[in-house]
Structure 1
């Protein structure tokens, strides 16, 4: 089947956050929005039909999951990631961040240290601070546009008493798909110092050719006992607005604690359309996803070709549809970079500093749009920055 990733779909007047928040975030409504992590592509064709079919029932009472939904998740993780799960250990949640809030509250106490690896997804900072935990940074090391973990420093943070570590795998925003050697080193440290591992694998499915995502809990039994894996079809299939995710706990006792905390947060079940969407995309979305990844690879190649010879560069990207742009060679400070993007290029990107101090001269661009939209955005940036 052929999928269309080239048509520009008008998202104006659909209450799309990507467009509605332009004035608030960028000070103007005429910027080309290439920021928030959703796509400008239609989702899996079978999903539209499935949602319409469900809507025709026209009754929207409380909904629960069944074996068919559980099996769709099990089959997907097995076929895409060689991840063989026990579906009895699944807990459903509206999103990865609500799940992280729950895990932080269950497995750490006030003033406990939790480690993250900036530059990283901004809610990682707030989910720690919101519960009066101590945020400890283990910054990634940028080696000529290729980011790596600093394991020596990480071990020091664990020695100093860290209780938990939040892993972003694949990493947002630097696009790393951590290889097995890196994950094994991380796992060994977590086991050695008995550190809980909360692994945000929401971008697991979007991995470029030549790379492979490995859920860290699959490495060995020791790390599996410490790991909570957080996954969702939302980024993969552009259904974030339907709010469907899940946590895979190490055992039944720990799963019970997760469920109890989610209940205390006021959550009991996914909405009707979330369950329908999850089952549909996992059962019918494999070919669509393969085609999407090819389009994303083309968009990243286009960016690299366009930026060659300029003072701006894109770091190595191995997965996700989020690209970390380096403006350091322009010689401009953060505020001036941001001003020129907003007011001169009129392109809306994610502010690099929101990912940590390491993002002072960086910006994040979302490349999940038709090729001509990405080209226009990059051309605007090059025209302004030279």
Structure 2
């Protein structure tokens, strides 16, 4: 079966955050939105069929999971990532951020140090600060457009008593898919200094052909016992609005503590359609995902080609996964606010401004390329035209 990733779909008037809140966010309605992390593609066809079939029942009482749902998840993890987990260690929540809040509350105390690697997904900052923990930064190093971890600095932070580390793997926004060697070195440090590893692997499925995703918990038994793996089908299959995610805990004792905290936050179960979606996409979504990745690789190549042909001081960093592109505007010589204004008012393209991801995002912007190639080309052409002038 073939899937159409080139069709332009009108998402206006669907209460879409991406489209229907443009004026509120950017001050104008004519901005081409290429920011928030959802796609402009229809999802897996079998998912629509499953949701319609479930809706026909027209009774939406309290819903739980069964073996069919659990087996769909386990099969996906095993086949796609060689990650074999016990169903007894799975916990469900509406999203990875609620799960991170629960993990921070459960396994750290006030004033404990938690390490992150900026530039990084903005909620990582707030999930630490909102619970009165100490935010500690281990910035990634930009090596000629390819980001790497600073392991020497990281070890110093661990020596100073860090209690936990929040990993973004694959990384949002810089697009790195960490190698097995990089993750092993990180894991060894966590084991050596007894640091909990909260591994956000929500983009694990969207990996380009030159890379491979390794769940950290699979590296060895020592790191497995310190790692909570956070995953979801939401980014993979464009179903963030259905709010379904899960966490793989290290062992039963820690899972029970985590589940208790989730209950205290009010997360007892997923909604009816979330469970339906989990089963459908993990059972039927692999061919669709393979087509998606091919289209994303083509979109990234298009952006690289356009920027190379038009020397305007903008470059796209080395990307191995996700559908989020980290654009470097430092070569334009413009200050961050001037870049933002030019994008908004002249190019009329809505991107995520880099400073949201930490101080290291100065003169950077994040671009979402999960859209038909016509939309991606329109977006990059608008940017090129604005910065040429």
Shorter-normalised TM-score: what interval?
over 0.9
Match of 1:377 in 2: 379
Match of 2:313 in 1: 311
Match of 2:261 in 1: 261
What are the Cα deviations for residues 288-338 of structure 1, in whole angstroms up to 9, with x where unaligned? 000000000000000000001331000000000000000000011110000
5+ long unaligned stretches in structure 2: none
Match of 2:72 in 1: 72
For 1:357 and 1:252, locate their aligned partners in 2 and report how far apart those are by CA, in whole Å: 39
What are the Cα deviations for residues 118-152 of structure 1, in whole angstroms up to 9, with x where unaligned? 00000000000000000000000001100000000
Match of 1:334 in 2: 336
Identify which range, 16-25 or 172-181, moves more after superposition: 16-25
1:136-151 matches, cutoff 5 A: 136-151=136-151
1:20-169 matches, cutoff 5 A: 20-169=20-169
Deviation for aligned residue 1:67: 0.5
1:201 correspondence with 2:206: no
Deviation for aligned residue 1:87: 1.0
Helix, strand or coil for the counterpart of 1:363? strand
For 1:221 and 1:26, locate their aligned partners in 2 and report how far apart those are by CA, in whole Å: 48
Match of 1:284 in 2: 284
1:206-285 matches, cutoff 5 A: 206-285=206-285
- What count of residue pairs does the alignment treat as equivalent? 386
Give me the TM-score of the superposition, normalised by structure 2: 0.99
Moved over 4 A (4+): none
For 2:68 and 2:268, locate their aligned partners in 1 and report how far apart those are by CA, in whole Å: 20
For 1:147 and 1:81, locate their aligned partners in 2 and report how far apart those are by CA, in whole Å: 23
> Contact 2:170–2:321 at 8 Å: present in 1 too?
yes
What are the Cα deviations for residues 225-273 of structure 1, in whole angstroms up to 9, with x where unaligned? 0000000000000000000000000001111111100000011000000
| Superposed CA RMSD | 0.5
For 1:123 and 1:207, locate their aligned partners in 2 and report how far apart those are by CA, in whole Å: 22
Deviation for aligned residue 1:26: 1.1
Match of 2:301 in 1: 301
Give me the TM-score of the superposition, normalised by structure 1: 1.00
Deviation for aligned residue 1:20: 2.2
Helix, strand or coil for the counterpart of 2:142? strand
For 1:191 and 1:371, locate their aligned partners in 2 and report how far apart those are by CA, in whole Å: 44
Name which of 367, 370, 374 aligns with 1:368: 370
What are the Cα deviations for residues 184-226 of structure 1, in whole angstroms up to 9, with x where unaligned? 1100000000000000000000000021000001000000000
5+ long unaligned stretches in structure 1: none
Deviation for aligned residue 1:29: 1.3
Deviation for aligned residue 1:44: 0.2
Deviation for aligned residue 1:46: 0.5
For 2:367 and 2:210, locate their aligned partners in 1 and report how far apart those are by CA, in whole Å: 22
What are the Cα deviations for residues 19-39 of structure 1, in whole angstroms up to 9, with x where unaligned? 122122211111000000000
Helix, strand or coil for the counterpart of 2:139? coil
For 1:120 and 1:314, locate their aligned partners in 2 and report how far apart those are by CA, in whole Å: 16
For 2:278 and 2:15, locate their aligned partners in 1 and report how far apart those are by CA, in whole Å: 22
Helix, strand or coil for the counterpart of 1:56? helix
For 2:258 and 2:238, locate their aligned partners in 1 and report how far apart those are by CA, in whole Å: 26
